[in-house]
């Protein structure tokens, strides 16, 4: 137990490779401890300033502190000396973090801006403008690009590599309810409060098509994988299919008895999943010539279904409800996975779900502003992220699976680095086959071939989910550990 504090903790940081950690208290103090002593090793007086965030350079001695008045101060952790004070934000600093090499500091504030500072000079490298009116939806990715929409009827195309805004587009509607990006990255669609659907060219911002106006608002969107069409769930419980790029209405699916809140399409475009306030999920066959009849209705919920997402290999459906519970179903028949109830509960209502491209991690957003990362290998909680001060309105994971993008009602779009993880392999019925890997076998035969790691994974065919840890090279052979 560490002692020395007399107030309530409001922030903390434990930089890798430093041997110490720091915590800020609401009694205007910043304390540092080492693992060897319960008493503080140093105390940095903040006088009348109220600290709200802190961060340290991994393996270094620089410590950043953000304050309620919008200023940031850089200290030497060993002596507590003030190195520099940064000014630019107009409201409370809510978060700050150093680049791994300590050359940059990123800060987020209640003024809605995100700033990147050069350390230690304190010059501003980049400022990401605020979204006015709160971010209402997030779509993507298309490569490294995502699209955010706001309550003021604007869309922003953002590059997740550096957080820069590539383009701002006026959507000609007072409020956007939902947005989606086509699989080929050519189009994005938005559904507005005026009950219409608009299709836009992603790369030049031009309007490609406008649908007729309907008697109900459209609340969720999903593109067909070949980008030839679009599905839109409505507040009247119907689901409409449109052709592209003209946004021509071609078909309506009926079955839900209340508002459709979320939808998702399988990778082959044949299975449509819709969730509703009527506490059911419906699985629809589309593009198979059977009239679009619902092939199955899932009635496992006690409250409204708020979010649905499909695993990349289309074997698992994840759904979240208004009670904050996550349910997993096996596809294509929708049988509930019995061990799904082992997910640790997180306070709040679920607002968004997404799964990493490798199928290992399920990310969940909540109306409390928290984002939780769960392992789909062993159903454990990996971490929780206090991402926003308002409800999470959207989640997206970049194609390489390394970055999680979150948006919130606080008007901020945040990029998070996802943790390293084992691979999750879904394979069909079959037997274990050759685990051929590169290098030299004991007989000295060269077995090198391109992309060997994935060849080894794909050659293992089990009638199960197999979690495989990162492999290690051992004299030309690879050790693979089955963990799930």
**What pLDDT was estimated at residue 357?**
87
* Cα distance between residue 155 and residue 162, in whole Å: 18
Set out the domains of the chain in order of their start, with CATH numbers.
9-128 (2.130.10.10), 135-420 (2.130.10.10), 424-479 (no CATH)
Is pLDDT above 60 for 443? no
The residue-averaged pLDDT of 318-326 equals: 90
The residue-averaged pLDDT of 361-390 equals: 88
Is pLDDT above 70 for 381? yes
Query: Would you put residue 451 in left (φ > 0), alpha (ψ -120 to 50) or beta?
Result: left
Angle of CA points 222, 405, 329, to nearest 5°: 50
The residue-averaged pLDDT of 139-165 equals: 78
The residue-averaged pLDDT of 353-365 equals: 90
| Other residues' Cβ atoms within 10 Å of the Cβ of residue 16 | 10
Query: How is the chain split among helix, strand and coil, in percent rounded to 5?
Result: 0, 50, 50
- How far is Cα of residue 38 from the mean position of the Cα atoms in its chain? 37
- In the chain, the percentage of residues whose pLDDT exceeds 90 is 14
Contacts of 192 (CB under 8 A, 6+ apart): 153, 171, 172, 173, 174, 175, 176, 177, 198
The most distant pair of C-alpha atoms in the chain lies apart, rounded to whole Å, by: 74
* Cα distance between residue 258 and residue 275, in whole Å: 10
Give CA separation, 298 vs 55, 254, 282, 326, 368, in Å.
46, 16, 6, 14, 27
Is pLDDT above 70 for 470? no
What would you report as the CA-atom Rg of the chain, rounded to the nearest whole angstrom? 25
Helices (H) and strands (E) counted in the chain, each on its own, are: 1, 43
pLDDT band at 28; cut points 50, 70, 90: confident
The residue-averaged pLDDT of 276-298 equals: 75
- In the chain, the percentage of residues whose pLDDT exceeds 70 is 81
Return the structure tokens found at 449: 């071939």
Angle of CA points 144, 146, 147, to nearest 5°: 155
pLDDT band at 338; cut points 50, 70, 90: low
Residue with tokens 């209402």: 136
Mean pLDDT of the chain: 78
* Cα distance between residue 153 and residue 158, in whole Å: 16
Q: Among the listed ranges 96-105, 213-222, 283-292, which one has the minimum average pLDDT value?
A: 283-292
**What pLDDT was estimated at residue 278?**
92
**What pLDDT was estimated at residue 433?**
36
Return the structure tokens found at 208: 């490609």
Is pLDDT above 50 for 94? yes
pLDDT band at 421; cut points 50, 70, 90: low
3-class secondary structure, 194: coil
Say which residue, 456 or 166, is predicted with more confidence. Answer: 166
**What pLDDT was estimated at residue 123?**
85
In b/e form, how buried is each residue of 311-339, taking b as 16+ CB within 10 angstroms? Answer: bebbbbbbbbbbebbbbbbebbebeebee
Q: Among the listed ranges 178-192, 252-266, 355-369, which one has the minimum average pLDDT value?
A: 178-192
């Amino acid at each position: 137990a560490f002692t020395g504090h007399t107030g309530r903790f409001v922030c903390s940081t434990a930089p890798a490779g430093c041997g110490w950690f720091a915590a800020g208290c609401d009694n205007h103090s910043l304390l540092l401890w080492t693992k060897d002593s319960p008493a503080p090793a140093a105390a940095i007086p903040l006088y009348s300033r109220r600290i709200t965030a802190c961060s340290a350079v991994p393996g270094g001695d620089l410590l950043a502190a953000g304050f309620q008045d919008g200023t940031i101060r850089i200290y030497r952790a060993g002596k507590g000396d003030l190195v520099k004070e940064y000014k630019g934000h107009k409201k409370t600093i809510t978060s700050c973090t150093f680049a791994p090499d300590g050359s940059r500091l990123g800060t987020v504030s209640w003024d809605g801006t995100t700033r990147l500072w050069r350390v230690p000079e304190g010059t501003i490298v980049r400022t990401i403008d605020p979204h006015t009116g709160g971010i209402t939806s997030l779509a993507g990715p298309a490569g490294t690009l995502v699209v955010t929409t706001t309550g003021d009827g604007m869309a922003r195309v953002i590059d997740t590599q550096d957080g820069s805004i590539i383009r701002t587009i006026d959507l000609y509607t007072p409020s956007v309810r939902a947005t989606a990006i086509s699989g080929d990255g050519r189009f994005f669609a938005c559904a507005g409060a005026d009950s219409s659907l608009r299709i836009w060219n992603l790369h030049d911002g031009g309007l490609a098509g406008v649908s007729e106006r309907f008697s109900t608002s459209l609340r969720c969107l999903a593109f067909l994988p070949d980008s030839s069409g679009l599905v839109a769930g409505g507040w009247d419980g119907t689901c409409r299919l449109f052709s592209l790029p003209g946004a021509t209405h071609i078909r309506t699916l009926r079955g839900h008895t209340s508002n459709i809140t979320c939808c998702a399409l399988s990778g082959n475009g044949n299975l449509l999943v819709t969730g509703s306030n009527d506490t059911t999920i419906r699985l629809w066959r589309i593009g198979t010539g059977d009239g679009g009849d619902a092939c199955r209705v899932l009635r496992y919920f006690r409250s409204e279904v708020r979010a649905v997402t499909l695993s990349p290999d289309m074997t698992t459906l994840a759904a979240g409800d208004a009670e904050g519970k996550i349910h997993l179903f096996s596809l294509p028949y929708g049988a509930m996975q019995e061990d799904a109830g082992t997910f640790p509960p997180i306070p709040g209502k679920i607002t968004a779900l997404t799964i990493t491209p490798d199928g290992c991690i399920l990310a969940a957003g909540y109306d409390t502003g928290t984002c939780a990362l769960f392992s789909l290998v062993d159903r454990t909680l990996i971490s929780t992220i206090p991402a926003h001060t308002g409800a999470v309105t959207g989640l997206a994971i970049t194609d390489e699976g390394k970055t999680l993008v979150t948006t919130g009602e606080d008007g901020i779009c945040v990029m998070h680095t996802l943790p390293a993880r084992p691979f999750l392999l879904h394979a069909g019925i079959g037997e274990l086959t050759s685990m051929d890997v590169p290098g030299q076998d004991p007989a000295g035969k060269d077995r090198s071939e391109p992309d060997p790691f994935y060849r080894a994974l794909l050659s293992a065919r089990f009638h199960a989910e197999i979690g495989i840890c990162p492999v290690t090279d051992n004299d030309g052979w690879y050790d693979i550990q089955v963990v799930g």
